[in-house]
Structure 1
Amino acid sequence: MNSLTKVRRLTGKQGSCGLALCLSGCLLMSSPTSWATEPASEALEPPATPVRDWMAQTAQVSITGIRVDETEAGVQIVLETAGRELTAPSSRTVGNALVADIPDAVLDLPAGEPFEQFSPAAGIALVSVTNQPEGGVRISITGTDAPPQVEVSTMTGNLVLSVTPGVETAVDVDEDAIQVVVTATRTEEELQDIPRSVTVITREEIEDQTRLNQDLGDILSQLVPGFSAPTGRTNTFGQSLRGRDISVLIDGVPQNTNLGSIPAFLTTIDPQAIERIEVVRGPNAIYGAQATGGLINIITRQPDEAPIRHTIDVGGSGAIANGAFLAEDGFGYRARYSVSATTDTESALGSISYQSRGVYYDANGDRIPSEYRDAETDEVNVLVRLGAELDPVQRLNFTFNYFRQEQDANYISDPEVEEIPGVQRARAIELPEGTQIIGAPDGGQLETTNLTLQYFNDDLLNSQLEGQVFFRDYAFVGGLPRDSREFFDFILQSPGDTQQWGGRLQVNTPFNPEETASLLWGVDYVRENSSQSFNIFDPEAFDESGGRIFRKIDQIDFVPPYTLNDLGIFAQLQWDISDRLALSSGARYVNLRVNADDYTTFEGNDVEGGTLNAEDFVFNAGLAYDITEALTAFTSFSQGFSLPDIGRVLRFAPAGFAVEADIDLTQPQKVDNYEIGLRGNWNSVQASLAGFYNYSSLGTNFEPTEGGPLRTIRAPQQVYGVEAALDWQPGDDWRLGSTVAGLEGEDENEDGEFTALNSLVIPPLKITAYVENETLPGWRNRLQLLYSGDRDRGFEAGTDDAPIDSYITLDLLSSVSLGGGELSLGIQNLLNTDYFPVYSQFFAPFSETSNTAAPGRWVTLSYRRTF
């Protein structure tokens, strides 16, 4: 799980083109010397003397001819210089490309054009030689599967590069490589120096998991300690991080909303459009609200370094039993195409994906109800990312991400199971023939559009400045209309919409030339407009048709339009006290304002609008101490905050209610978190161990007071636990690893005693493990296990209606190089285990229609090729 790569800037910077990945190495020229293509041990830095000043003192050497000759090992590149010797190039590897710069050279070919040769030999996709705007010559050699290896020599004054194609391996580890993240502190920082528990999920790990499914929640469950086990649902209700709420960002744009009716903030992007995910476990108010359990920062796909690159990915899936697929309606398929292009100063990436899913089947071969799952859905995701270097220190990035999911469910949960004695498993029934929805959407829908523009300046008054403006629109419709006349006197369907726009500005100012101490400071602002309505359907048409005809006759407000303004001002100090000890400490001022105009509830109550204000300060401080070069101890105190769902209060306001007078919101829920841990990074072993305790004195709901306004419930709550992760590479062909997370928690009851929290808040013990082997060259196999344990503490306390039972699942992932691409096979639930997720078990005693089993054995076959 621990990738050992050097990342320059995840928020958009990548070399000179606004890209994310910058790997550096070095090239030494004497007698024939191996040109290493291993991951870089340190970032590529500019020469101590500016290139232009150096060139002014040194005559340039003209490259007058280039030959590329195929050899038994690969190719030989000869740079002809009319007898004058070239200076040794400096180099770096970027993706599958090896890039070298010769500062004292100029390309002087007869045609006056750059040199390019495509596919000169097997394993080599492109050789290019170009002049650079700032002076010097750049040589780029792109491998088909991996960066090439090169030996350098001279021959009668000419520079000779003997190129051998690189071989893709399952493990690519460098003992000096350093992983760099930005999420935890908003600035580029080595992972070993961060006094927090951070999990980094690389593109390769994401692509591995998508061989099984495209559910981001399932992927995080498999790879992140402390993230609860899969729920089997499209929304994230019932999933938590360390027993608390999760804040999700995509390229810095918040995906959470205060309108909590459908918490689907992980169903907003195709996982294959993701470059990298950073997860900060524990409260984190550095980026804003909702991160009381942790922060998930999703960085979208970055353009490749190659001049142009295409990727095609197609696949299909279905349920299988006894060696045969169960039914045609269980088949699904997906396709993705992406293209990226890069020059010295610009970059672009475009990606489009489409996925269609069929009905799911359990381990017994029975259909599973499609409601609240991603079964019988169609998804489309469009990603566009553009980058431009304005000058050597200024860059712009623009990102457009559009995601849409539609469900046309033919199989719903049979309500008759509620009438059968005992706890029954949910069963699927087909919608009656002739079912129609007239004048309204005929199924569930989620639609998200993210737009963001980022600006970077690496040298503004001796500081680094980053600015961002963004817009997000999130709309949803709650699926098949429901006969809710028992509760609301309506047959209804509930669409909603949230629009967010805002910006971030941060400045990182070093205090000394060595940059061992710096202050990050800035401001964040988000304005959120939310509303939710009821589509009302004709009860007579519904009854006369036997529940088959839904004809829309009206639309009324369920949650009235309201606005949330979130202003944050922050400062964060980073100080390397010594070579071994690093301090991180900061504070954030939070100012929240909620406004709603006068409105009438769906029950007909007139409500006087008004404005609510809340403010507070949150703090963090942490120390990281390097016990050895490979082992770091860390400890931290951090705070996060969360605002109650205001819409829940507004929609059920009684007659005569006044927003400003009848809601007392003086401060958000604040969570204090204490953590201590160890993190190790040895040659073939990476490990982490952390223990934590968090506490909050306020809840996220309101309660009435006698003769007074609604006020935030005082509901003291504590959560504590231990998390561990281990990855081991015992040889070039083997990888093994595991994560463990065990936590517990209580809240204070009316008697002042702490009572165990329910199992949706506190998930059972979770253990994951994997073993991966390159069985033959180019053929990789991985077995991975997920164990969700028993938990009866909630049942004994009366917060669960039944004990939670354990289960184990086993998955197989296999891939083989084929035809210049990769053929992949994924088998989810390999042993066809019949089990119920924790979510289903929790609701089973009082809502058997929600007691859905998990899918049985599920097979996915896909093929991906990049060219």
Structure 2
Amino acid sequence: MTMIPRTRSALYRAGLGTLIASCATPLLADASSYSLDELVVVGNRAPAQISQVPGTVWVLEQEALETQFKSGQDLKSVLGKLVPGLDLAPQGRTNFGQNMRGRSVLVMIDGVSLNSSRGLSRQFDSIDPFNIERIEVLSGATAIYGGGSTGGIINIITHKGEAGDTRYRTEASASSGFNDSEDRVFRAGQSISGGNDRVQGRLAVATQRNSAFYDADGDAIMPDITQTDLQYNRSLDVMGSVRLQLDDLQSLELLGQAYDSRFNGNQGVYLGPNLSTIADPEIRTGYKTDRAPETDRHLVNLNYQHRDLFGHTAYLQLSTRGEKASFHPYPYIRQNMAQSYVGASLQDTTQHNLKGLLVKHWGDWQFSYGVDLDREDFKANQMIFDTTQALQSGAMVTEEDFTVGRYPGYRVDGVTAFLQTEWQATERLRLNAGIRQRHSSLEVDDFVPTQQQIDVQRGLATGADAIPGGENSYDVTLVNAGAIYNLTASQQLWTSFSQGFEIPDPGKVFGRGSYSLDNGYYTLNDALDVDSNTLPGLKTHQVELGWRAYEASWEAQVAAYYTWSDKDTRVTDTLQIDVVDAKTRDYGLEASLAYRISDQWRAGAQGHVLRSEVKNEGDWDKKDARYASLPSAMAFVEWQDARTQVRLQGNHAFDIDDDAGNEIDGFTTVDLQASRELPVGRLGMGISNLLNNDYLTVWGQRAQMFYGYDKLFEFQGRGRTYTLSYTVDY
């Protein structure tokens, strides 16, 4: 991992810009002097030097990523282990609770947001590592990108074609803990790329097949029937891109992706006849379902750049993203067994974005301003299975009976204008400030709640009133300001203030009502009125002070932060939305140090300490352990020569608790990673959890708090796992 380049000349060469959420991969003024590999995430949405960013920046370069990926690590695990402020990752499909600095993270692919107003926590189940060139991270709240970025920004940059002869890359890997014949993971990827000075392109296909996972004792890990699992899963990622240099000033780039990750097996969790052994479940073969867990995505991203449009550099991005996320069948047990059911939801989100940016340099000043337009459509349904069959089979056989609505459908339209200014006040001091104004409108469809729909389908009721939909809107203003001071040619201080915001989930907030059953018909007594109950943008504020240094033999970065918010929304007993005082704060310190011992040896460490609190009757209490982030630390030592690299890496998550007596136990893992250049190709090797540490994942501990049934949600960490990979470029 590199925070910024290691020499002063490189420091002032690197472009810090990919235009997160505005334009992906912009070109700099002199394309012959820079490469796209030198562009990284930036807080001002325009190309800049890393020395101009008043915030914490982490760059995971291609070499570092490949070392991790080829040793068997997945995307969210790599990020959790290498980015100090980001929580260590769960091991299932969900990334619930993997926050940055205790707050939510905005995740993007080439500047296209993977977040939506309906939070599903599947942003990292979106791309195969074979298609990732580098990852760029900004820690902390930012006013520049709007909703979802209260804790930070992660921008995943994909591989692109380059001018030159046609190039091919073939990659294959296998992983196993050798506990059973089902203990295996296979990955493979193939790409073709090339082009000339006018046109460059790349096309790639990557796939991964998982079977069972085993813990340190050699026991099969319980599959996750709540947020879904990646055991017995098959993923396929097809990605293509083309870049056209229209003339000396204009360029056009198109990216297309189709990604599908779905359950592919016959292993299930047996809960006993009529759920009689739900407290003591077992894993069995013979599982069959008409709706299996799946993440199905598509993305199209078109970027245009003009380097001299009326004296400005202009960027225009048009993108569309679709996502269908289905869940595992789950038993919903009511007091009246006739109303109980086994169901699985499918949630469908479509987003369209048009973003424009103009950048103007005027002496020591730079102005970046523009407009963002976005639209999000959401709908969801719940497949209801044959309840008798499902319960008698212990939830092993779930065949569709009928399908009903799950959440009310809705549409969110947003219009945003922004202005960012930067001023080189002196040779050593640079100041910046900006403002972002967003107007959002929400349209919610009429909706009959799921339980009422089920009762009508089963003949328990003749019909039901719909909860009326409606429209409302909200406005939110975000500001930011920062300063950077160059202590020396290789050391900087910075400070900043920034705001981010989130909006409560419309799908879960609206569609609520109270009913009475009159002569077999559900009559609506009261409902949450959409028109008169606005969901506001909830602001998060952050102040940060940091220092970074890049010397000949060492590099370091340290940042202290204080983040707070003072409002939240509540749905009252009278079905109204209240904006209430709900003060929360996160404060901490994140740091990284790497030291080059010699030409071949390098060592380093990083850490993140934080405290998350909520104010209760005038006192600051610890945040609920189900949602709070765990402090963490990482240390590594690596040896490298012209052909061989070996890295030993250890990660530790510290224990946390809350004032209600809930506890999350931390854990330690050690990974050994190595690679060797062969006469043809490169061999990669890895041992994950080298010491075979036995631990319960953080999500497993949280799931037990959320749902109970300790054994059902006993998601152990994977035991010692070996990986062998081979990559050849030709």
Cα distance in 1 for residues equivalent to 2:531 and 2:709: 34
TM-score normalised by structure 2 residue count: 0.89
Equivalent residues of 1:484, 1:492 under 8 A apart: no
User: Cα distance, 1:203 vs. partner?
Assistant: 1.4
**Separation of aligned partners in 2, 1:778 and 1:708:** 66
Q: What is the TM-score with the length of structure 1 in the denominator? A: 0.76
Unmatched segments (≥5 aa) in structure 2: 453-464, 515-523
Q: Which of 492, 501, 517 does residue 343 from structure 2 map onto?
A: 492
**For the structure 1 residues 770 and 378, does the alpha-carbon distance in structure 2 shift closer, same or farther, using more than 3 Å as the test?**
same
Corresponding letter in the other structure for 1:329: E
* Cα 1:223/1:542, change in 2 over 3 Å: closer
The equivalences for 1:332-411 within 5 A come to 332-371=185-224, 372-411=228-267
Q: CA deviation at 1:763?
A: 2.2
Residues 1:698 and 2:567 aligned together: yes
Offset at residue 186 of structure 1 (A): 0.9
Percent sequence identity is 27
Amino acid at match of 2:507: G
Structure 1 residue aligned with 2:361? 510
Q: Shift in Å at residue 762 of structure 1? A: 2.6
Distance in 2 of aligned mates of 1:575 and 1:385:
36
1-side partners of 2:609 and 2:508: how far apart?
A: 32
User: Secondary structure at 1:607's aligned position in 2?
Assistant: coil
Contact 1:196/1:281 (<8 A) preserved: yes
1:505 and 1:93, CA in 2 relative to 1: closer, same or farther beyond 3 A?
A: closer
Q: 1:856 and 1:44, CA in 2 relative to 1: closer, same or farther beyond 3 A?
A: same
Secondary structure of 1:363's match?
Answer: coil
1:527 aligns to 2:399 (yes or no):
no
Deviation at 1:592, TM superposition (A): 1.6
3-state SS in 2 of match to 1:606: coil
1:827 match: 687
Aligned to 1:687: 556
- Alignment partner of 1:287 out of 145, 155, 169: 145
| Correspondence 1:749-788 to 2 at 5 A | 749=616, 751-774=617-640, 777-788=642-653
Alignment match of 2:75 (pick from 216, 238, 249) = 216
Task: Please state how far the C-alpha of 1:641 moved relative to its aligned partner.
Answer: 0.3
Matching residue of 1:429: 283
Taking the aligned partners of 1:630 and 1:544, their CA distance within structure 2 comes to 69
Q: Structure 2: which amino acid aligns with 1:291?
A: S
Aligned residues of 1:743 and 1:762 also touching (Cα < 8 A): no
Query: What whole-Å deviation, never above 9, does each CA across 1:737-777 have from its counterpart, x for those lacking one?
Result: 2110010011122x233211023433222001111102x54
> 1:764 and 1:862, CA in 2 relative to 1: closer, same or farther beyond 3 A?
same
- Residue 638 of structure 2 contacts residue 648 of structure 2 at CA under 8 Å; is this kept in 1? yes
1:273 aligns with 2:145: no
Seen in structure 2, the aligned counterparts of structure 1 residues 715 and 412 have a Cα distance that, compared at 3 Å, is farther
| Residue 559 of structure 1 pairs with residue 407 of structure 2 | yes
Determine which of 587, 590, 599 is the counterpart of 1:720: 587
Change (3 A) 1:428 1:725: farther
Aligned mate of 2:159, from 278, 291, 301: 301
Query: Which residue of structure 2 lines up, in the alignment, with residue 475 of structure 1?
Result: 324
Q: 8 Å contact 1:184–1:198 — kept in the other structure?
A: no
Q: Answer yes or no: is the 8 Å Cα contact 1:368–1:427 preserved in 2.
A: no
- The letter of the residue matching 2:592 is A
d(CA) in 1 for partners of 2:36, 2:543 = 39
- Tell me the equivalent position of 1:450: 299
Equivalent position SS for 2:390? helix
Q: Return the letter of the residue paired with 1:860.
A: T
Contact 2:61 2:134 in 1 (8 A): yes
Q: Give 1:566 deviation, angstroms.
A: 2.2
Rounded to whole Å, the distance in 2 between the matches of 1:387 and 1:632 is 36
What does residue range 137-216 of structure 1 map to in structure 2 within 5 Å? 181-216=40-75
In the aligned structure 2, how far is the partner of 1:92 from the partner of 1:448?
33
Q: Contact 1:369/1:411 (CA < 8 Å) preserved in 2?
A: no
CA distance in 1, matches of 2:613, 2:48: 35
CA distance in 1, matches of 2:362, 2:548: 28
Q: Displacement, 1:94?
A: 9.4
Per-residue CA distance 1:547-580 (angstroms, 9 max, x = gap): 5542312111111211111221110001111221
Q: Secondary structure at the match of 2:89?
A: coil
Structure 1 distance, partners of 2:34, 2:612, is 49
Q: Tell me the secondary structure at the aligned position of residue 731 of structure 1.
A: coil
Distance apart, 1:662 and its partner CA: 6.9
Shift of 1:12: 9.3
Which amino acid counterpart does residue 736 of structure 1 have in structure 2? A
What RMSD over aligned residues (CA atoms) do the two structures have, in Å? 2.6
Task: Give the aligned residue type for 1:331.
Answer: R
Instruction: Give the residue type in structure 2 aligned to 1:644.
Output: P
- Aligned counterpart, 2:492: 632
- SS, match of residue 698 in structure 1: strand
Give 2:493's aligned amino acid.
Answer: A
User: Partner amino acid for 1:204?
Assistant: E
Q: Which has the higher contact order (CA 8 A, sep 6+)?
A: 2
Q: Relative to structure 1, is the Cα distance of residues 527 and 656 closer, same or farther in structure 2, using a 3 angstrom cutoff?
A: farther
The answer for the alignment partner of 1:311 in structure 2 is 169
| CA drift at 1:842 | 3.4
- The one-character-per-residue Cα deviations of 1:582-625 (angstroms, maximum 9, x if unpaired) are 11210000212110132322233521111121111110000000
Please give the residue correspondences for 1:236-251 in structure 2 after superposition, counting only pairs within 5 Å.
236-251=95-110
Cα distance, 1:726 vs. partner? Answer: 1.1
- Measured against aligned partners, the alpha-carbon deviations of 1:293-324 in whole angstroms (never above 9, x if no partner) come to 111111111223433211110111111xxxxx
Indicate how the Cα distance of structure 1 residues 393 and 659 shifts in structure 2: closer, same or farther if over 3 A, else same: farther
SS in structure 2 at match of 1:625: strand
- For structure 1, which segment, 487-496 or 201-210, has the greater mean C-alpha deviation from structure 2 after superposition? 487-496
Match runs of 1:251-262 below 5 Å? 251-260=110-119, 262=120
1:672 to 533, 541, 558: 541
Cα deviation code 1:389-415 (max 9, x no counterpart)? 111110000000221101135444565
2:700 partner letter: S
Alignment map for 1:35-50 (pairs within 5 Å): none
Q: Secondary structure at the match of 1:556?
A: strand
Bigger shift: residues 499-508 or 1-10: 1-10
- Segments of structure 1 that go 5 or more residues without pairing to the other structure are 23-42, 47-90, 96-178, 320-324
**Aligned partner letter, 1:430:** R
Instruction: Give the match for residue 314 of structure 2.
Output: 465
State the 1:420 CA deviation.
Answer: 10
Contact 2:268/2:396, CA 8 A, preserved across alignment? no
Deviations 1:377-434 (A, max 9, x none): 1011011111001111100000002211011354445658x9999xx9x875114x3x
State how far apart, in whole Å, the 2-side matches of 1:414 and 1:542 are: 11
Letter in 2 for 1:611: E
Cα displacement (A) at 1:545? 5.3
Distance 1:790 1:755, change over 3 A: same
Larger Rg: 1
Q: Distance in 1 between matches of 2:151 and 2:41?
A: 18
Indicate the residue corresponding to 1:855 in structure 2: 718
SS in 2 for 1:647: helix
CA distance in 1 between counterparts of 2:27 and 2:727 reads: 21
- Distance in 2, matches of 1:660 and 1:571, equals 35
Q: Distance in 1 between matches of 2:709 and 2:581?
A: 29
Name the aligned partner's letter for residue 261 of structure 2: Q
Secondary structure of 2:145's partner? coil
What SS does structure 2 have at the residue aligned with 1:383?
strand
Which residue, 791, 800, 813 being the options, matches 2:673?
813
1:465 Cα deviation (Å)?
0.3
Q: Which amino acid aligns with 2:135?
A: I
Q: Structure 1 residue 644 and structure 2 residue 504: aligned?
A: yes
The total of aligned residue pairs comes to 689
